[in-house]
Structure formats: C-alpha cells, structure tokens
Amino acid sequence: MSHPPRVPLMGMSIDPVTEDQAVARIVDALAQGRGGVVVTPNLDHLRQYRREPGVRELYATADLVLADGMPLVWACGLAGTPLPERVAGSDLIWSLSGACAAAGRSVFLLGGNPGAADDAAGVLRERFPGLRVAGTMCPPMGFDADAARMDEVRGALRDARSFPRSGRVSEALRAELPGAWFLGLGVSFSFVSGEIPRAPGLIQRAGLEWVYRLVQEPRRLFVRYVVQGLPFAARLGTHALWTRLRG
C-alpha cells in the first residue's frame, strides 16, 4: 500500500495522516505479521531532535512519525506543507486500544507512574470489552540503562508478544519482537487512569494544553515549557515562514 510522502520540518519528517489512518496502518500491518515503531513528536521532541544525534537516529528508523504538538501542525501549515490534523498520543491510546479489541489483538502497557499502567488497563478493559491486556509493568526510571531491568522487560514482553512504550526501549527490543508495534505514549497512562486530568477539548484545540500541564506540574515543566520551549517555538515559526517565502 502506498503512503503519502512525509512532510519535512526542521529536518524531521512527519507522516501527513489522520488518527484514523494511523490506526488503520498499524492494524493492517499487525494482520500481516509486521511490527513497527510509532513516535509522536511535540515541540520539545523537535528541539531535542535538533540537538541530539541519538534522537535523530530513533526518528530515522520510526515507521510512523505523528505530530502530537499543535505548534508542529501550525508550523507545517505556515511552511506550506499542511498536515491533516494533530495526532496526539493521548488520543491514540484510546483509538488504537479500541481497534485492537475489535481485531482480537492484545496490548502491553509498559512504563508510566507507579500504578498508572494497572489502573489504565482496568479503564481500557471497561471501555473496550474484549480487549486483551497481555500485561503491565512499571520499571523504575532509567530502567533502559540497567541490563538486569531490561532483561526483565524482555522476558515479560516475549511472554506477552505485544506492544509496549517506545523510545530507546523499542530500539532495544524490536529485533526480538518483529511482529509487535512500539508506541511512546508519555503520560497517557495517567490521563487514562484519571491520575492526571487532561486539558478540556477547547484548550487542546487552541494549542494551550502545555499551559494546563504547566499549572499542574510547574516545578517539573517550567524549564521545558517556558525557558526552552517558548524561544524554540519562536525559532520554529520563523523557520516555517522563511520556508514558505523561499517557495
């Protein structure tokens, strides 16, 4: 099946697909026994992409790159290469779990705050009767750099044969689980479980979800969103406008 060409943005290549199209691509690939990696970049991810070779390598091997942040969607439109919509990981966890339930596929929830994966699994099972949650696991922060912890994760996922959270973990495991899809869904388990309230829809559509999150966790997010994020957002807008003017 042919797919639309990716849209370039400051060196990153983004798939111009809707959430429904992304879910369909994943489910179709699963039916054919093919796995893959999904990344959902936001403004901070793009900033890291520009600075860190390791992040660029991860994105270069990803099978789907979906714009999670509204600034990325706006910038692509300003540059003259619009994306059809934002595809947020916090929405994708619902739609993809529903599609997996309908297709008889299982999911494995890896990571998140302690207890969030277990709680999210319960909510998803209730929302989508028949969804098979093959397992949940919440290793401590930095587990991907701990050989013993990674062996535990490998064992759990081999037994489950399902898909976990992405990032460096996906790169370490995808060769062992070629039929699984790996998705990095950030704080989505906590959103699903209700541990952390998500911004109302109007705030999301206005691109102000970061403000809502900043109010929730100011100490953790102030540097990322204000000190680093706002200057980079200005740089991104300037780059997009210059790209448009150059034709």
pLDDT digits over 37-89, tens only?
Answer: 999 999 999 999 999 988 898 899 999 999 999 999 999 999 999 999 999 99
Q: List residues bridging with 39 in a β-sheet.
A: 65
pLDDT of 29 strictly over 80? yes
Q: List residues bridging with 107 in a β-sheet.
A: 133
56-70, 111-125, 135-149: least confidently modelled range: 135-149
- Domain ranges, ordered by start, for the chain: 7-193, 201-245
2 to each of 6, 74, 146, how far by Cα in Å? 12, 26, 39
| Residue 240 to residue 85: CA distance in whole angstroms | 17
Give the global pTM. Answer: 0.85
What is the sign, positive or negative, of the torsion defined by CA atoms of 142, 148, 150, 152?
Answer: negative
108 to each of 97, 121, 153, 177, how far by Cα in Å? 10, 9, 11, 13
Decide: helix, strand or coil at residue 162: coil
* Length of the chain counted residue by residue: 247
Q: List residues bridging with 136 in a β-sheet.
A: 109
